[in-house]
């Protein structure tokens, strides 16, 4: 039996954590993702850029009360990629 290849974009602990958080919400603020993942600001920014470049998330930058506000949301492409990744992992775990 051949195993399905794992998506290299999602096969990274932090990127997978971000997408997993976004699956259940319409959007999430950068600070929420930062707190939930325990990542550093710099590393999270790099990984969000990689997810954005892959078309898996949309990153919106704006302001709230004169403070910068970054929000992220999962795209349909990102949701499909996540679903495929989960199915591929299940195949690896089957006896």
Task: Give the total number of structural domains in the chain.
Answer: 1
Please tell me the predicted confidence (pLDDT) of residue 1.
61
**Residue 67 is encoded by which pair of tokens?**
């403070």
Q: For the chain, what is the mean pLDDT? A: 95
Question: Is residue 4 one of the residues assigned to a domain?
Answer: no
Specify the DSSP class assigned to residue 94: -
Question: 71-92, pLDDT tens digit by residue?
Answer: 999 999 999 999 999 999 998 8
Domain that holds residue 66: 13-93
Question: Is residue 44 one of the residues assigned to a domain?
Answer: yes
Strand partners of residue 28: 72
Note the pTM of the prediction, 2 decimals.
0.92
- SS3 state of residue 59: strand
Q: Which CATH number covers residue 30?
A: 1.10.10.10
Question: 35-62, pLDDT tens digit by residue?
Answer: 999 999 999 999 999 999 999 999 999 9
């Amino acid at each position: 039996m051949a195993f399905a290849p794992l998506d290299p974009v999602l096969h990274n602990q932090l990127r997978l954590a971000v997408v997993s958080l976004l699956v259940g919400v319409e959007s999430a603020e950068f600070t929420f993702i930062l707190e939930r993942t325990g990542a550093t600001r710099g590393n999270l920014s790099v990984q969000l850029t990689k997810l954005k470049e892959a078309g898996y998330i949309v990153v919106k930058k704006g302001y709230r009360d004169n403070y910068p506000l970054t929000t992220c949301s999962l795209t349909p492409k990102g949701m499909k990629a996540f679903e495929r990744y989960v199915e591929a992992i299940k195949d690896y775990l089957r006896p």
